Structure 1
Amino acid sequence: MNLSRPAHRMQRWAARGALGAATLAALVPLAYGGIGGVLLLMGGVAGLGLSAAAVWWTLTLRGPARWAAAALAVSIPAAVIALLAITLFWALLLSLALWGVAVWCGRYALRGSGGRRVRVRERRMPPPKRPFLIMNPRSGGGKVGRFDLKEKAEQLAATVVLLDPHGNQDVTALARAAVADGADLLGAAGGDGTQALVAAVAAEHDIPFLVISAGTRNHFALDLGLDRDNPATNLDALTDGVELRVDLGFAGDRPFVNNASFGAYAVIVQSPAYRDDKIGTSLALLPDLLSRRQGPRLTAHAGDSTLSAPHAVLVSNNPYRTDDPFGFGRRDRLDSAILGVLGISVGSAAEAATLLLAPEPDALTILTAREVVIDADRPEIEAGIDGEAVILPLPVRCRIAPGALRVRVPRKRPGARPSSPRLNWRQLRKLAATVGRTAAPRRMPSWTAPR
């Protein structure tokens, strides 16, 4: 992106402002507290490490020892925050304000310099003539009924099928029957698991797919830029919409729009008690899973890399952001034709502490690959496919189908605005040091010196 000379100058000063504000944010508490402030901050870091270890003990122990560890995990951060607030007074507030300035200036400086999230290309296409929508009335605590989605969709000439809340209907079969009957758009109002099944049929027949954010979390809708607070606005795509070409992931023959997880979490969601008591079920199963007394012993092959015996592996349809806390859990794009891989293996309280404090902890593996093969010490394995509990035969080959899915979205939607760039401090330092020199006007001599 070519920027004018004044724009380069503004970038330079914004980058310098970000670095300066971040430096002051660290120095103000130290200057105010002196040696005591340094010791206090060092104690705070140590407290965070001990708190992470206490979380590990909470997850792996049972009985009174677990509750003692849980109390420690809660009380240590509370004590650190209280001590910092009492000791540093206004210096802590000023430090937080300076950090906010650093973040704002950093994002401003990185605009147009490769830090911006890449948007999927939009295509104007005629509205569908025979849209077919599948709606789950139980999803999201009853959003289908609360927002009158069925009635509003039918007013837009869509055929709507409500899933039986007490039955177990074959969503894939319903979608395929609709296509055979002449549907030229498929849509789903429900969780991401339902979305993925309908999306796979749409991709199979190369017809548009409509996402209606009626689930609980709606991660796919979030990365598409849709309004998750009012799912009825997603229906605007039927009359004033554009199409995006995005990728679709597969774990074996199971499609996923977000991710497929293997290991501890996947085992937990298989429990019949998990739906009604998520926390209790997790606490009951985690001690044996984390100590490897139960659960599969995984091996994941991602390109040329191998993850041996991780506690959990998450394979995502395009990589998640992991280097910016302000964008954590989001995907920069949905059309990079590559899988993201997150592997975690924590075997002790010390490793749990380094997971929180170390810049590149050994317990966390972050990779990208075009294919991921999951294997284990058994013939089949538990998996969570977009949050849905399934059992898959081994080995599980995870792959990505580039541009397989045509998603129809409203032309006007909240996430269509350019998103904030990543905070890359190394890039900011380079920007602050070099942009000024390249942008400064050079005065050319009017004569050429003889050689």
Structure 2
Amino acid sequence: MGLDLDGRAHARQRWAARGALTAGGVAVLLPLGYARVESLLLVAVGVLGTAVTVAALWWVLTLRGPARAGAVALAVATPAAVVWFFAAENLLWVVTVSLALWGFAVWAGKFALSSTRSHTVTVPEHHTPPPRRPFLIMNPRSGGGKVERFGLREKAEKLGARVHLLDPERHEDVTELARQAVADGADLLGVAGGDGTQALVAAVAARHGIPFLVISAGTRNHFAMDLGLDRSDPAAGLDALTEDGVELHVDLGFADTHPFVNNASFGAYAVVVQSPEYRDDKVRTTLELLPELLTHQRGPRLTARVEGTETGGTAVVDAPQALLVSNNPYRMDDPAGLGYRERLESGVLGVLGVTVANAAEAAGLLLGRHSTGLTVLTAREVVVDADRAEVEVGVDGEALVLPTPVRCRIEPGALRVRVPKHRPGVPETKPPLDWRRLRKLAAAVGRTALPRQRALSPEAAPPENRTPPTA
């Protein structure tokens, strides 16, 4: 039975690889066969149109007044003109079919490669007794009122937790609330709220060596997503308070003394969110501030010294318009995985820097990691300096102003997070597409599977193991 299932898996893998190669080949040959010489023009127009559109978007962000209006018109007109050209030349259907085939080829290829090797990193689970005196902080305003909508306070109290509901009318120091709860004997701290509040309480839990509970009652819940929790049902996280709970030991990041479970951002975004007008009109405030920020006429000029990179050395990121330092790196090799972290216990920071001087370099960002304007690194420590005594920093979405230089570091395995054993898990991401490996897979799998099946027949068995024929 096991061999039969294994053979079926090999067959699916083989046909997926062959399907990917076939679809990819047809996607390339269709324009060549139908348009012939015009296919080169088709590719050139598509590439040029994409580059001009990205460049126009750069001008939208860096210009003002009539020039910005012209850039908006160019950003809209360019893709429309490309589509019109394809339609006028009777090539639009060719482009559409080729793109569809290429999309299928990429999907099938990743399916085939993921069948040969697992790319899902499983964080070790630690089985520990449920807490006896859990203390939870809940923000009734988070996520548009999820605390009340899902009955989180009542459900938590039924499970024996002591719940403190934050007062919407006055500021409360959640760090001090957590410290006092530990002093009163709490053996678990938890938060139903945004990632900024999560980080502050998580740091107290880590400092005292007690578990931390994440309840996905915020708006985005990035940390909960990367822990594999059910973001659509915050109440499901309370199952961790029972015997069903397990612990994950994950890392915790710090910008100086300020903890973060997700990231610390520097540069344009960090300056924009500091503006008093940002909360009332985010789009208008952003468009008003970005021209000077992106051209270094306003805001800090940053320099980041990245220590302990993949090569073991030091790298310098000079004058980035935006710099993101994350608690473990985000996926960058697949658009479907952007915004996800496959691991939270790798012990390294992720570093993402954007340095763009003009429209051409902005268009070059289409090359992803190979772009000269994009820096992607991992590090043990990042020291961010600036041409001023203080710098704006967004720490898990909270707007801060910190003295320079700002030292970002990571404490590996510092945080014990208690989660339900049964949870959706982190969305599975496919491996980067390797066409050379895909060709070998399509050609070799069928042959490698064959000897295993032949070994089941008496003729294929070694002579000493064959059963003599009966008369």
- Which residue number corresponds to residue 216 of structure 2? 213
Question: What do residues 144-184 of structure 1 show as CA deviations (whole Å, max 9, x unaligned)?
Answer: 22222222222222111121223221111111111111111
1 CA distance for matches of 2:297 and 2:440?
A: 49
Instruction: Indicate the structure (1 or 2) with the bigger Cα radius of gyration.
Output: 2
Is 1:106–1:423's contact at 8 Å kept on the other side of the alignment?
no
1:374 is aligned, of 384, 387, 396, to 384
Residue aligned with 1:133, SS: strand
CA distance in 1, matches of 2:8, 2:155: 50
How many pairs does the alignment contain?
445
Q: Give the distance between the partners of 2:184 and 2:440, measured in 1 at CA.
A: 59
Distance in 2 (alpha carbons) for counterparts of 1:115 and 1:184: 36
Contact 2:83–2:92 (Cα < 8 Å) also in 1: no
2:172 is the counterpart of 1:169: yes
Say if 1:4 and 1:406 are closer, same or farther in 2 by CA, change over 3 A. same
Is the CA contact (8 Å cut-off) linking 1:209 and 1:407 kept in structure 2?
yes
Equivalence for 1:149: 152
Q: Which residue of 1 aligns with 2:30?
A: 28
Residue pairs, 1:388-399, within 5 angstroms: 388-399=398-409
Distance 1:429 1:169 in 2: 60
The reply to whether residue 72 of structure 1 matches residue 74 of structure 2 is: yes
CA contact (8 A) 2:330 2:341 kept: yes
Amino acid at match of 2:402: L
Structure 1: which amino acid aligns with 2:172?
A: Q
1:216-275 deviation digits (Å, cap 9, x = unpaired): 111111111111122122222222222111111111111111111111111111111112
Residue type at the aligned position of 1:271: S
Residues 295-334 of structure 1, C-alpha deviation per residue, up to 9 Å, x if partnerless? Answer: 1111111121111111111111111111111111211111
Q: Residue 251 of structure 1 corresponds to which residue in structure 2?
A: 255
Query: Per the alignment, do residues 405 and 85 of structure 1 end up closer, same or farther by CA in structure 2, a change over 3 Å counting?
Result: farther
Taking the aligned partners of 1:261 and 1:319, their CA distance within structure 2 comes to 14
Range 69-78 or range 125-134, more displaced: 69-78
Superposition pairs of residues 230-249 of structure 1, within 5 angstroms: 230-239=233-242, 240-249=244-253
Residue of structure 2 equivalent to 1:449: none
- Aligned partner of 2:127 in structure 1 is 124
| Segment of structure 1 superposing worse, 75-84 or 310-319 | 75-84
Q: CA RMSD in A?
A: 2.7
TM-score (norm: length of structure 1): 0.91
One-letter code aligned to 2:27: A
Once the two structures are TM-superposed, the CA of residue 395 in structure 1 deviates from its matched residue by 1.3
Q: 1:249 to 1:94 in 2, by over 3 A?
A: same
Rounded to whole Å, the distance in 1 between the matches of 2:87 and 2:233 is 39
**Counterpart amino acid of residue 278 in structure 1:** K
Moved more, 205-214 or 144-153: 144-153
SS in 2 for 1:111: helix
- Say whether 1:335 aligns with 2:345: yes
Deviation of the 1:7 alpha carbon:
4.9
SS of aligned partner of 1:106: helix
Cα 1:439–1:292 shift into 2, 3 Å: same
Residue deviations 1:24-82, cap 9 Å, x none? 23333443444334423321211111111111111111112112212222332344356
Which range moved further: 110-119 or 62-71?
Answer: 110-119
Q: Which amino acid aligns with 2:231?
A: R
Which stretch shows the higher mean deviation, 405-414 or 35-44?
Answer: 35-44
Q: 1:402 aligns with which of 407, 412, 419?
A: 412
2:467 aligns to what?
none
Answering whether residue 407 of structure 2 is matched by residue 419 of structure 1, we say: no
CA contact (8 A) 1:220 1:257 kept: yes
Cα distance in 1, alignment partners of residues 401 and 44 from structure 2: 47
Change (3 A) 1:205 1:82: farther
SS in 2 for 1:326: helix
Seq. identity, %: 65
Q: CA deviation at 1:17?
A: 3.0
Corresponding position of 1:346: 356
Give the TM-score taking structure 2 as reference length: 0.87
Q: 5 Å matches for 1:38-117?
A: 38-81=40-83, 84=86, 87-88=90-91, 90-111=93-114, 113-114=116-117, 116-117=119-120
The question of whether the paired residues in 1 share the 8 Å contact of 2:24 and 2:105 is answered with yes
Match of 2:334 among 324, 330, 334: 324
Structure 2: state its 5+ residue gaps: 308-313, 455-459, 463-471
Does the 8 Å CA contact 2:194/2:218 hold for their aligned counterparts?
Answer: yes
Q: Structure 1: any 5+ residue segments left out of the alignment? A: 447-451
Secondary structure in 1 matching 2:130: coil
Matched, 1:298 2:340: no
Following the alignment from structure 1 to structure 2, what is the Cα–Cα distance between the partners of residues 150 and 158? 9
SS of 1:76's partner is: helix
Would the aligned equivalents of 1:110 and 1:116 in 2 still touch at CA under 8 Å? no
Q: 2 CA distance for matches of 1:140 and 1:160?
A: 18
Question: Aligned residue for 1:261?
Answer: 265
Offset from partner CA, 1:402-422 (integer Å, 9 cap, x none):
111111111221126x71322
Question: Which protein, 1 or 2, shows the higher relative CO under an 8 Å CA cutoff with sep ≥ 6?
Answer: 1
Please tell me the residue identity of whatever aligns with 2:164.
Answer: V
Provide the rounded CA distance (Å) in 2 between the counterparts of 1:64 and 1:326.
36
Counterpart Cα distance in 1 of 2:154 and 2:184: 22
How far apart, in 2, do the equivalents of 1:379 and 1:430 lie? Answer: 57
Name 1:270's counterpart in structure 2.
274
The answer to whether the 8 A contact 2:30-2:94 is kept is yes
Q: 1:340 to 1:432 in 2, by over 3 A?
A: farther
